[in-house]
Structure 1
Amino acid sequence: MTATTAPPAVRFHGSVDAPLRLTVAQLRALPAHRAEVSFDCLTDGERRHRFEGPKLWDAVREARPRIDLRGRKQRLRFLLAVTGADGHCAVLSWAEIDPDFGGQRVLLATSADGAALDRAGPQLVVPADRCGGRYIGGVTEVWIGPVAR
């Protein structure tokens, strides 16, 4: 990175009260979790990695989603669309990461196999997935919003 190049950042937007951008360094300030994962890559077969970073849940909460967390059923209408620098996008349901429902430990990894991701940007890590399709590198944005009715 040159002095004029800003570090990669994730933009949290959509149905939120506090849209924001978080760099890998700022994500590191959130509680960190570790995940040792294996998943099937269509081109490379089985992959094994060790990731560390905050839960997506904790990062998303920083943007203050417009979701009434006191109730339960209305939360089930919300989705998260996570996009990487290469345009790859994956969708998660709010219930997957919400501790009252699936409570999955989905991460926005700040390191992979011990290497910092400050230059590449964070990686979406979905430990419960057998397929690596939702492992998005260089995450640039997380959109949060309800399904339109």
Structure 2
Amino acid sequence: MSESLAERASQPVAELALTGDLAHPARLTVRHLRAWPQHRARVSFECATSGVRHHRFEGPLLHEVLSGAAPAFDPVRRKDRLRFLIAVSGTDGHHALLSWAEIDPDFAGAPVLLALSIDSSPLDRWGPQLVLPQDRCGARHVSGVDAIRVDGGYAAWA
């Protein structure tokens, strides 16, 4: 049974907060995220409880979205971005931590997605999903991403 326009309009729209060491923190919906170039990935995750799962995801690259928020990299320090961490949390209670170097094309360049659809089903109401196609296990997959924090507070290590 399809939903009417009035029913769709009355339903809440998922939103995620980009915070941390950013020049342009933001609150984004799936609709906002569609403004970035969309990438596709066929992913197989090995799940401990349900075996191998196969899905098709589409959405912007995490690197492109976060770069648009202008992380506070020190332009004087050539490799300053390597000290930045990315914390992702979702409405499903899962959390994942990535390093900037994992997603940066100058380093590992992993094609990490903020998926806006799974198997051609849109995620507008539930929010984007963090998808790491390079991970064998889906443990860092986060559904309903509601917060992403970029943290460069590790300058003391450099």
Same fold (TM over 0.5): yes
2:151 to 119, 122, 145: 145
Describe the shift of the 1:129–1:14 C-alpha distance in structure 2 as closer, same or farther (beyond 3 A): same
Give the whole-Å Cα distance in 1 for the aligned partners of 2:77 and 2:98. Answer: 20
- Residue 41 of structure 1 corresponds to 47
Structure with larger Rg = 2
- Residue 104 of structure 2 corresponds to 98
Percent of counterpart pairs with the same letter? Answer: 52
**Which of structure 1's runs of 4+ aligned residues deviate more than 6 A?**
none
- Residue 84 of structure 1 corresponds to 90
Q: Counterparts of 1:55-70 in structure 2 under 5 Å?
A: 55-68=61-74
TM-score, with normalisation over the residues of structure 1? 0.93
User: How far has the Cα of 1:76 moved from its partner?
Assistant: 1.1
1:114 aligns with 2:131: no
Opposite residue 25 of structure 1, the aligned amino acid is R
Are the aligned partners of 2:11 and 2:125 in contact in 1 as well (CA < 8 Å)?
no
1:18 aligns with 2:24: yes
Opposite residue 14 of structure 2, the aligned amino acid is P
Across the two proteins, how many residue pairs are aligned to each other? Answer: 149
For the residue of structure 1 that corresponds to 2:139, the secondary structure is helix
Unmatched 5+ stretches in structure 2: 1-6
RMSD value, Cα: 1.7
1:7 aligns with 2:13: yes
Opposite residue 57 of structure 1, the aligned amino acid is H
Give the whole-Å Cα distance in 2 for the aligned partners of 1:34 and 1:108. Answer: 11
Write out per-residue CA displacement over residues 90-134 of structure 1, whole angstroms, 9 at most, x where no aligned residue. 000000001110111100000000000001110000000001001
User: How far has the Cα of 1:3 moved from its partner?
Assistant: 5.1
TM-score, with normalisation over the residues of structure 2? 0.88
Give the whole-Å Cα distance in 2 for the aligned partners of 1:36 and 1:55. Answer: 14
